[in-house]
Chain A
Amino acid sequence: MNPIYMDNNATTRVAPEVLEEMLPYFSDLYGNPSSMHTFGGNVGSTLKKARENVAGLLGALPEEILFTSCGTESDSTAIHAALRSNPEKKHIITTRVEHPAVKNLGEYLANNGYRVTFVPVDRDGRLDEDFLYKSLSDDTALVSVMWANNETGTIFPVEKIARKVREWGIVFHTDAVQVVGKIPMNLADSAIDMFSLSGHKLHAPKGIGVLYVRKGTKFAPFLMGGHQEGGRRAGTENTASIIGMGRAARLVVDSMEDENTRVRALRDKLEKELLKRIPASMVNGDPENRLPNTTSIAFEYVEGEAILLLMDQHGICASSGSACTSGSLEPSHVLRAMGVPFTAAHGTIRYSLSIYNTEEEVDFVIEKMPPIIERLRRMSPFWKEGQIS
């Protein structure tokens, strides 16, 4: 059974064009791009083009692009670079709803000599910007704010925040793994100093990330060793994946319009129909400023893991904000930071679409979801027939 894949904020399928472009670098074209011979040097020229493609997508210069192994490495590199190149400063500002790649590092630093401010969000997941601005100080080394939230799709006004942060001469980093390919951007005109992205969220393979470092930003490498990436990220290049990343960057330039029209319409249809057909359900997150592909829906009185497993019976893939799926006992830190009641957070399902989804798939999910929720509610001691919360 082919899965109906609506979990694209977790990972995406590798585009066939990307795979095709990568394959020769696993077989015939195995040269090391740093080698002096033509065999390796040719690989180096292809990498250069890939770097230019990624720079083109972001509106950056090729020398501002570092290839890393994943989004998490990009985040860690950015944060450590800002701290190590501003050793006298001991304060970091981030948010309560960051991906664990930033959140857990922030918590680690908070236990290891740094003061870390976690900026709160409101009930719709919107960032308390005033709180952030009031937290800025001469001791602040770095502000790191995600561009869009992976669980709710809520988009933060990072450009506006970056400009305010720049007035203080403080480095601004954004974890942008969820927005690349979904929102047009031009980093040349922006006040963002560092920017993380991840290949496997935009139809490139897993194991490839990018860190953008604005020219002139003070930097210290995370991985030390060889001269690769201009001495800023040592280690032999993951040639095939970098080349795949370059191809994916070109593809998303072309697919961005589809993402913002057709995919958005599919998401809207899915959301509208599910809310209409399933009582006691609601959307989490800011309905206005939101990624075009994401909807997070809370189904009250039922538990997310049970919903996902019943969806799995129909081959439908999505994610849950519930505690049980992660092995922790409390629901997602994002939903808790928003103040979503536990009763709703436990039954939250995130659907995240991609350009590969079709209207037939959306219709299938719309048809299958109501009986799933109904079946679990009939089993639940909290649900009464005809009840509307």
Chain B
Amino acid sequence: MWEYTDQVKDHFLNPRNVGFIDDYDGIGEVGSLACGDALKLTFKLGDDQRIADARFQTFGCASAIASSSALTEMVKGLTLDEASDVTNEDIADFLGGLPKEKMHCSVMGRDAMEKAISFYRGEAETKIEGEIVCECFGVTDVQIERAVTENGLTSIEEVTDYVKAGGGCENCHDRIQFIIDSVLGNTPKAAKRPEALTNIQKIKMIDATLDREIKPALNQDGGDIELVDVDGNRVMVKLRGTCASCSKSQVTLKHYVETRLKELVSQDLVVEEV
């Protein structure tokens, strides 16, 4: 059993500001069903350009719900500049601390706030920056580096606690260690990522992304997708199950599959059905 503080229990059992603001000024979504937690945050500004209302919808464990609830309480009345200064540590402190394995819940809150503010400011949908390091949870080197720097992390285990990276198949542990070492100055700064992926890297990443992100979602509706071939930036797929006969399948293909692949693998990809 987790040792949650009274504040965490209170915000879990009596969550503040659950809901969705229909005429929101900002919206930020992070996480997914597959990852085990997700947060949708909306806010509305008042005439004084301060956050007048903030609401959340969260799928996740007690500390994910409590972190979301805490975040909405903390940011109400703040200007957007002030709200963007709220760190994951602030959220954890507000709750009297979180078990270390649960720190990623507070990071999720911070990320959702940032996304919602970017949305309001009209900054382009912030694509995930950097190169995916942890395939299981889709965490990039930039996210890991940031968590390490901001929270003074020194071990792979801590990185997993804060951003989940390395918590699945563990294949990326060497790369996480490399990032930690780079931040701590133990080794020369990591070499800049190569400009382009090699073909084989690209195919592997597309395949892994389909398996991890896209298939589970399509399977939910009885559909499925299969990678047929990759030629340059053309990704050729076959839709199966209910997708094959669905009139909306082209929409799914372009708006969902292609968007996800662009986000997670390369902006240049084009998805085609064969």
Is A98 interfacial (CB 8 A cutoff)? no
Q: Mark A342-383, 1 if CB is under 8 A from B, else 0.
A: 110010000000000000000000000000000000111110
Q: Which of B29, B60, B220 has the most CB of A within 10 A?
A: B60
Interface-facing stretch out of B36-44, B173-181, B259-267: B36-44
- Of B18, B64, B102, the contact of A303 (CB 8 Å cutoff): B64
Is B216 interfacial (CB 8 A cutoff)? yes
- Cβ B167 vs Cβ A328 within 8 A: yes
Is B62 interfacial (CB 8 A cutoff)? yes
A378 to B59, CA, bound (A): 10
- Cβ B36 vs Cβ A382 within 8 A: no
A303 to B32, CA, bound (A): 12
Chain A residue with Cβ nearest B137: A329
Number of interface residues of B (CB under 8 A): 33
Looking at the assembled complex, report how far the CB atom of B112 sits from the nearest CB atom of chain A, in whole angstroms.
11
Interface-facing stretch out of A10-18, A194-202, A319-327: A319-327
- Of A309, A323, A330, A382, the contact of B62 (CB 8 Å cutoff): A309
**Chain B residues with CB below 8 A from A331, complex form:** 36
Looking at the assembled complex, report how far the CB atom of B57 sits from the nearest CB atom of chain A, in whole angstroms.
4
Looking at the assembled complex, report how far the CB atom of A248 sits from the nearest CB atom of chain B, in whole angstroms.
27
Q: Mark A285-315, 1 if CB is under 8 A from B, else 0.
A: 0000000000000000111111001000100
Is B15 interfacial (CB 8 A cutoff)? yes
- Cβ A346 vs Cβ B36 within 8 A: yes
Known: A330-B167, A343-B33, A343-B220. A378 touches B18 (CB 8 A): yes
A321 to B39, CA, bound (A): 21
A342 to B36, CA, bound (A): 8
- Cβ A303 vs Cβ B61 within 8 A: yes
Looking at the assembled complex, report how far the CB atom of B50 sits from the nearest CB atom of chain A, in whole angstroms.
25
- Cβ A379 vs Cβ B58 within 8 A: yes
- Of B15, B40, B136, B168, the contact of A381 (CB 8 Å cutoff): B40
- Cβ B59 vs Cβ A380 within 8 A: yes
Residues of B within 8 A of A (CB): 2, 12-13, 15, 18, 29, 33-40, 57-62, 64-65, 101-102, 136-137, 160, 164, 167-168, 216, 219-220
Given contacts A329-B36, A381-B57, 17 further A-B contacts (CB under 8 A): A305-B2, A305-B61, A306-B61, A322-B61, A324-B61, A324-B102, A325-B61, A327-B101, A329-B137, A329-B168, A341-B216, A342-B216, A379-B59, A379-B65, A380-B57, A381-B40, A382-B38
Selected A-B contacts with CB under 8 Å, 16 pairs: A303-B37, A303-B61, A305-B61, A305-B62, A324-B36, A324-B60, A328-B167, A329-B36, A329-B137, A329-B168, A341-B219, A342-B33, A342-B35, A379-B15, A382-B33, A382-B38
